[in-house]
Amino acid sequence: GRGSEKEKEVPQDEEEYQLSEGLKEFLVSGETLSSLPLGGLKVGANAIHTISLQLQQNSKKQNVRIHSLQLNNTSLSQDAAAEVGKLLGYHKGSVEALDLSNNRLTWGSIGGLGNGGGALQELDLTSNRLGSPENKGKVKQSANEFFHGISRNPLSSSSPSSISVLKLGNNNIGEKGCELLVRGGLKNLSHVDLSRNKIGNNGVGWVVKLLENRSLIRLDLGKNCISGRGAELLSDALKTNPSLQHLSLPHNRLGEIGTTSLFSSLPSTTNLRSLNLRSTSLTPSSLSHLASVLGENSCPSLEALNLSNNSLTEKSCEKKGEGGRGLSFFESLQKNLHLQKLDLEDNPLGGEGLKKLGDSLKMNGGLLFVGVANTGGESAAYRALSECLVVNHRITCLDLSRNPITTDTFRKISRALKQRHEKLAPIPAQPLCLPLHHTLIKDTGLKHLLNSGMSLPQNLNLSSCQLRGEIFPEMVQCLTMPKGAVGQIALVESLNLSFNQIEVQGWKVLSKFLGTPECRVKCLVAEEVGMDDEMLGILGGGVGLGR
């Protein structure tokens, strides 16, 4: 094979050379790797060829695989992309997941990917420069060869391709790209990402054919050019498809016709678990159709619903069906038993809308997460909303971020949390999490919440909270409490303190904690915190810049 031939000298800069030499040493052990992450490095054709040669040498000793080869954001040249194709073709069964996102690749440069890769299950081509293959001669031919190539299984001519995850987001492949994808004949797709591709209603006409395979579980069509007619096509397909579980359509102007059609199809679906309709031009009329579905519990499989940024107001959420029949959206939440996650962020619900939402949540029996970030209410409205947590013990996360909630209001919210905690104290229960970033909580407000039984999430985001660091001793104490104590659900692994003017004493307390064995923080983000050389020295001295 190629390993016995004398290598051609390939011009490369110092970074590429060092990478190639490092790969030789790294791969010489011949061990199966769960991942080879090269994202962000300058990977040339020579480095890819080095991987291929080393796999060839190791395969003589044992069956070696790189389960995941990550080449995202590596400025791959056309020659390097061709080497990736050769690697897949020469080592059929060696790579299971390939990430080529953010590389400015074209249809012509990825044609070789169809030469092999019998074990390839996941292919990520997000944010490249594929473009629409619309009647462009060689471009169309290359795109056609690519899709037909990856649909074949080089290990068995009688078996379909093993590719189940295909991500083509942000490539502007258009409707012609959707057509070639469908005509390619991929039979085992379970996850397809076609977001940000300038796909219109005609393109949706091709996409729905993917649902005929009955293997597709997740479909992302966000940020395209789909309107009501396209949504109607999807609705018709959903009625007869038993496999799709996650449908994402954010930032498409579906309007009243499209959203009403989707809501009307929900009772016919059997496995749809999540529906993302962020910024899809919902109307009060279409929302009343959704209220009927939710209130009658006629779509028991639906667990997550995103209605954010749809200009929903108190009035639209109170609207009932024609002639005043049926339920309003708020009323439907009182009767729904199956929905677990509801996101209403970036809707101008206002104070009265939030209060009525809180009243509905007191009687809801299913929701675990409720998102009301940036919903335009005054402080009193969020206090009233929080009172539902005293009655409804099922809710484990209420997202209050990006709202002008003051320290005094958080003090009152903490009273509701204490009452909840006292009621739940005798029995084990899921702790409560309140995302707080971009609020007016300050150190005093955070202190009230930490003393109320609020839990700290694994990723703690306290950016833009007007903190100065006075709360850090109490916060550190919560982070190091024994498992099961008040204020503890999981050890915080990521801490974001950006856009707070933290004083020197606060950094000293934090630095001391970050250097202890009890600390599990792996990532500390601190942008625009007024840090000078003294503060940086304090922080670096406590944890070591290597950590």
Query: pLDDT digit string (tens) for 412-431?
Result: 999 998 888 888 776 655 67
Spatial separation of the C-alpha atoms in residues 281 and 289, rounded to whole Å? 14
Bigger pLDDT: 226 or 39? 226
Query: pLDDT digit string (tens) for 99-128?
Result: 999 999 999 888 777 665 567 889 999 999
Measured at the CA of 438, the angle between CA 432 and CA 444, to 5 degrees, comes to 70
Residue 76 lies in a domain: yes
Spatial separation of the C-alpha atoms in residues 270 and 239, rounded to whole Å? 9
Residue 73 lies in a domain: yes
Residue 475 lies in a domain: no
Nearest to 195 by CA among 217, 216, 163, 167: 167
Query: pLDDT digit string (tens) for 25-45?
Result: 776 665 566 788 888 888 888
Please give the pLDDT value at position 9: 46
Q: Could you tell me which residues are beta bridge partners of residue 488?
A: 456
Spatial separation of the C-alpha atoms in residues 277 and 107, rounded to whole Å? 31
Please give the pLDDT value at position 4: 40
Report which secondary-structure segment, H or E, holds 177.
Answer: helix 174-184
Query: Over 455-507, what HEC string results?
Result: CECCEEECCCCCCCCCCHHHHHHHHCCCCCCCCECCCCCEEECCCCCCCHHHH
Please give the pLDDT value at position 474: 87
Spatial separation of the C-alpha atoms in residues 435 and 430, rounded to whole Å? 16
Spatial separation of the C-alpha atoms in residues 268 and 92, rounded to whole Å? 42
Domain of 147, CATH number, reads: 3.80.10.10
What residue type is assigned to position 429 of the chain? Answer: A
**% of the chain residues with pLDDT over 70:** 85
Query: pLDDT digit string (tens) for 267-313?
Result: 999 899 999 999 999 999 999 999 999 999 999 999 999 999 999 99
- Taking CA atoms, 148 is separated from 16, 25, 78, 161, 215, in Å, by 33, 37, 20, 10, 19
Residue 68 lies in a domain: yes
Number of structural domains in the chain: 1
Report H helices in 75-137. Answer: 78-90
Where does the pLDDT of residue 181 fall: very low under 50, low under 70, confident under 90, or very high at 90 and above? very high
Spatial separation of the C-alpha atoms in residues 511 and 458, rounded to whole Å? 19
Angle between helices 255-265 and 228-240 (to 10 degrees): 10
Measured at the CA of 164, the angle between CA 133 and CA 305, to 5 degrees, comes to 90
Contact 128/100 with Cβ under 8 angstroms? yes
> What are the two backbone dihedrals, phi and then psi, of residue 247, each rounded to the nearest 5 degrees?
-125, 125
What residue type is assigned to position 266 of the chain? Answer: L
Nearest to 233 by CA among 210, 262, 255, 212: 262
Spatial separation of the C-alpha atoms in residues 134 and 175, rounded to whole Å? 8
Residue 106 lies in a domain: yes
Residue 334 lies in a domain: no
Other beta carbons within 10 angstroms of residue 424's beta carbon come to: 15
What is the CB-side half-sphere exposure of residue 488 using CA atoms within 13 A? Answer: 13
Query: pLDDT digit string (tens) for 155-177?
Result: 555 566 788 999 999 999 999 99
Residue 143 lies in a domain: yes
Residue 215 sits in which domain range?
30-225
What residue type is assigned to position 220 of the chain? Answer: D
Where does the pLDDT of residue 483 fall: very low under 50, low under 70, confident under 90, or very high at 90 and above? very low
> What are the two backbone dihedrals, phi and then psi, of residue 193, each rounded to the nearest 5 degrees?
-110, 110
Would you say residue 460 has pLDDT above 80?
yes
Bigger pLDDT: 12 or 494? 494
Residue 544 lies in a domain: no
Which residues fall within 8 angstroms of residue 301, CB to CB, at 6 or more apart? 269, 270, 271, 272, 273, 338
